[in-house]
Structure 1
């Protein structure tokens, strides 16, 4: 059976950037655009709204220049408006060739926002088509508030589509603008349009206000739409848009008759880069790309994985360039401990594993975070072994932070029975400390792992003297690992976490 192809249009750089508090720089936009098309393999990307700002103009121009050089120009789309040709001129100045023209897909929006009749609106749109055609610009048309239009004024929607059938429109884009649809409605409305207008290319654009974005997108595919609009990490206004990673995984696993071009193996790394650029944190329990989704916490699950993979499903982490993890905490069992020991290449007797497990459960009861890298410390503590030794010791340090002066740090560190001192400045006290540490390691012709995440946790309701936990994620050429430090001073807790990292890389 031949598969039916679905276009995936990513709108992270346009609709996703409408997430509250999010703004990408021009260089970030270009980097994301390149990754979406070249690494992830999406078919099209919507990168901006016309006439927003001078910065947006420059960002789009950079993307268009790159797209022209690499043959992607018809994959770059701009949201435009029925504005007497101003958007067309903006597009012409950037060199963009595909517009997504925003029009009114419900009678309510048309009547109360534009205060026009359907005939007047269609006349304005006709002129917009003529202007675009003159400039060699391809036109797709958004029917804003289309879902409410189908609910409350379906005859207007049909009238509009009858009109569009006579125009040089490439695609009709159907947004659930306010995220109001339930899956049965999405299927019914899109099926009715598919049957009535078999020759129109329909895209469906789902929002996630009721957490139904993925379900609605899948119903859209079943109903016969030709394309879907999605965003990385579900970014977008209010509750966001349907997330690309989840929709891709569902299509690949549950709709075998559908073909998409997105490369699953690149989903995680592109999602993490978008997270870094945007500052919009991926929830730990976010399907496919969240930190916890391939982490087994309960000991019974780890035991089941050892016994014929009883707790595996088709969402194998290797599909997305990830690995399964086994968390350590108060619900950990012997099987979790054994899985982590295997990763570290360590073996313990059954009696010793029992002692280590009891220690980890006690730490979990105190709400302390336990990571795989903590295991050597715990084993040494519980079994009085020499498994872990302080090979690197931060003997002393001075941190300076004065108004009007750049923060600085001086440290003395013992390595290989030698004490080394260095001084450096930085953007903050911890940054200055790390810069001084880098100087020491440069002297020793050694390199430090890259810091990729830094999280500070203080118990809710605490006072200013509360203990603070700093959890830092590091990345070497071969792996990522986490260390933590605990102190009433945030910078000191970070330094404690860093000292632990230095000893781990020495092991």
Structure 2
């Protein structure tokens, strides 16, 4: 049972508007195919009532109304009437599962509470509603007041409650306790349907859900992306794959839609999914180390049962300082680019340099890097002009200053100049070196264009393309770098090498 739209909405700062609730509910029921959804708490607001009515109308039209549940309260029938007015058919009635909660929050004895619950259940049945019952704080009830828990069960076991739902409300249990408490409940009530509702305060929600199933739980409560109060609930995607892969449990869940529902809820909730979140995180199917890419290329040596295709995704091989030649080759192969070993070595070197500077390199950047490395100069002609060092400054109210040192055909030169911008100052310093030291002029700059490669990110790489005119000849040089000024400087050095090679 997915409770994203009720318990998940109790995440701090999360509030779904009615049409968002409808879209999430529709995807959970139709596409992900969860068994049940809990969509709201009764009597919260007019907007919530609108949302529940919309979901119930959709569910009625698709013969899924029995799969839509609403949290209700022991409040003299008001929750029942609210849910019935919305078209709902299932109430998840909230009761107290620990003596402390019953005595201190309600100020009632167990017997009085049981009597109130039975009246509420009878009224719900008279309105045609199916009833499930939450024993709130059941985990602490089993730890501190087990006699109270069994008094509640004895008083309610015969009044037509379909499911008893056992929450670890404060997330205090560990898997051993879950197993002990569930087995105790089932020994006493072997024919009863028990759900388990985990919270993640000790980062044990998934492990505790696993323990509950091993111990006989008939249902589990989850939320998309683990949303929920405080540290959240058990994530739908993680629980699903553990049930299937670790226990061999068959469910109705369509795994290839888990990533899609995760992205939808991420967008509506405003709560970002961690990149390393299992199954749905951005990076979980990305291999970074080159040795892993090499192993996958040879015989999928670094793959497990969590294949990306299973979840409608694909495996990627990161580009960066840890990539190695195998990662580069895997990405080139996927793009359909075939290069010679020496060319791959040069590209690997360039990507490593970018990675050392913490630049984000994407697969979309790769064709531009290939062009940047291989297009302009053949290896035997390269580096007649070398940039040995430079400094550019930028200060408010003062023209930018550039100071640089270059090697031209083995001879070193230095120069300085100010300009209208950092790159302008750099070029003027170069022109001064060529004019004063070599008695030569440089080509005119006709056009200067900066772009982000398609699919690239603003914090990653920029491509600079500069058009030059040398007498009657017009040509272009381009360069790629994480820094715009550096990319322009690199393109300029390529231009100088072309000039020297042509001489």
TM-score (norm 1): 0.75
* 1:357/1:177 CA distance change after superposition, 3 Å: same
* 1:13/1:485 CA distance change after superposition, 3 Å: farther
2:240 aligned with 1:248: yes
Give the SS at the match of 1:259. coil
**RMSD of the alignment, in Å?**
2.0
C-alpha distance in structure 2 between counterparts of 1:170 and 1:292, whole Å: 41
Q: How many angstroms does 1:484 deviate by?
A: 11
Q: How many angstroms does 1:486 deviate by?
A: 6.0
> For residue 428 of structure 1, what is the aligned residue in structure 2?
none
* 1:165/1:63 CA distance change after superposition, 3 Å: same
C-alpha distance in structure 1 between counterparts of 2:117 and 2:205, whole Å: 29
> For residue 66 of structure 2, what is the aligned residue in structure 1?
74
> For residue 189 of structure 1, what is the aligned residue in structure 2?
181
Kept after mapping to 1: 8 A contact 2:359/2:482:
no
> For residue 120 of structure 1, what is the aligned residue in structure 2?
112
2:315 aligned with 1:324: yes
Q: How many angstroms does 1:318 deviate by?
A: 0.7
> For residue 431 of structure 2, what is the aligned residue in structure 1?
none
* 1:385/1:338 CA distance change after superposition, 3 Å: farther
* 1:455/1:96 CA distance change after superposition, 3 Å: farther
Q: How many angstroms does 1:73 deviate by?
A: 0.9
> Residue 313 of structure 1 is aligned with which of 282, 304, 314?
304
> Residue 336 of structure 1 is aligned with which of 310, 321, 327?
327
Q: How many angstroms does 1:268 deviate by?
A: 1.0
Give the SS at the match of 2:131. strand
> Residue 2 of structure 2 is aligned with which of 5, 10, 25?
10
* 1:330/1:226 CA distance change after superposition, 3 Å: same
2:111 aligned with 1:111: no
* 1:484/1:63 CA distance change after superposition, 3 Å: farther
Alignment deviations for residues 314-372 of structure 1 (CA, whole Å, 9 cap, x no partner): 11111101100000011011000000001110011111111111111111111110011
C-alpha distance in structure 2 between counterparts of 1:23 and 1:109, whole Å: 27
C-alpha distance in structure 1 between counterparts of 2:320 and 2:481, whole Å: 15
Q: How many angstroms does 1:163 deviate by?
A: 1.3
> For residue 171 of structure 1, what is the aligned residue in structure 2?
163
> For residue 223 of structure 1, what is the aligned residue in structure 2?
215
> For residue 442 of structure 2, what is the aligned residue in structure 1?
none
C-alpha distance in structure 2 between counterparts of 1:98 and 1:310, whole Å: 48
Larger Rg: 2
2:86 aligned with 1:94: yes
**4+ residue segments displaced more than 2 Å:** 454-457, 483-488
Give the SS at the match of 2:299. coil
> Residue 201 of structure 2 is aligned with which of 198, 209, 213?
209
Q: How many angstroms does 1:194 deviate by?
A: 1.4
> For residue 28 of structure 1, what is the aligned residue in structure 2?
20
Kept after mapping to 2: 8 A contact 1:379/1:385:
no
TM-score (norm 2): 0.75
> Residue 250 of structure 2 is aligned with which of 254, 259, 279?
259
Kept after mapping to 2: 8 A contact 1:144/1:174:
yes
C-alpha distance in structure 2 between counterparts of 1:321 and 1:70, whole Å: 25
Q: How many angstroms does 1:131 deviate by?
A: 1.1
> For residue 60 of structure 1, what is the aligned residue in structure 2?
52
C-alpha distance in structure 1 between counterparts of 2:457 and 2:170, whole Å: 34
C-alpha distance in structure 1 between counterparts of 2:256 and 2:216, whole Å: 27
C-alpha distance in structure 2 between counterparts of 1:484 and 1:124, whole Å: 70
Kept after mapping to 1: 8 A contact 2:138/2:167:
yes
> Residue 353 of structure 2 is aligned with which of 345, 362, 367?
362
C-alpha distance in structure 1 between counterparts of 2:251 and 2:279, whole Å: 17
C-alpha distance in structure 2 between counterparts of 1:24 and 1:11, whole Å: 13
> For residue 441 of structure 1, what is the aligned residue in structure 2?
none
Kept after mapping to 1: 8 A contact 2:118/2:156:
no
Q: Number of aligned residue pairs: give it.
A: 392
Question: What are the equivalent positions in structure 2 for 1:428-447 lying under 5 Å apart?
Answer: none
> For residue 200 of structure 1, what is the aligned residue in structure 2?
192
C-alpha distance in structure 1 between counterparts of 2:104 and 2:247, whole Å: 40
Q: How many angstroms does 1:64 deviate by?
A: 0.7
Gaps of 5+ in 1: 1-8, 387-448, 458-467, 471-482, 489-507
Kept after mapping to 1: 8 A contact 2:39/2:70:
yes
Kept after mapping to 1: 8 A contact 2:360/2:461:
no
Alignment deviations for residues 247-277 of structure 1 (CA, whole Å, 9 cap, x no partner): 1111111112x22111111111111111112
> For residue 143 of structure 2, what is the aligned residue in structure 1?
151
* 1:356/1:27 CA distance change after superposition, 3 Å: same
Kept after mapping to 1: 8 A contact 2:172/2:201:
yes
* 1:144/1:154 CA distance change after superposition, 3 Å: same
2:262 aligned with 1:271: yes
Gaps of 5+ in 2: 378-453, 463-479, 486-503
> For residue 83 of structure 1, what is the aligned residue in structure 2?
75
C-alpha distance in structure 2 between counterparts of 1:487 and 1:123, whole Å: 73
C-alpha distance in structure 2 between counterparts of 1:278 and 1:25, whole Å: 10
Give the SS at the match of 1:172. strand
2:367 aligned with 1:376: yes
* 1:164/1:208 CA distance change after superposition, 3 Å: same
* 1:357/1:485 CA distance change after superposition, 3 Å: closer
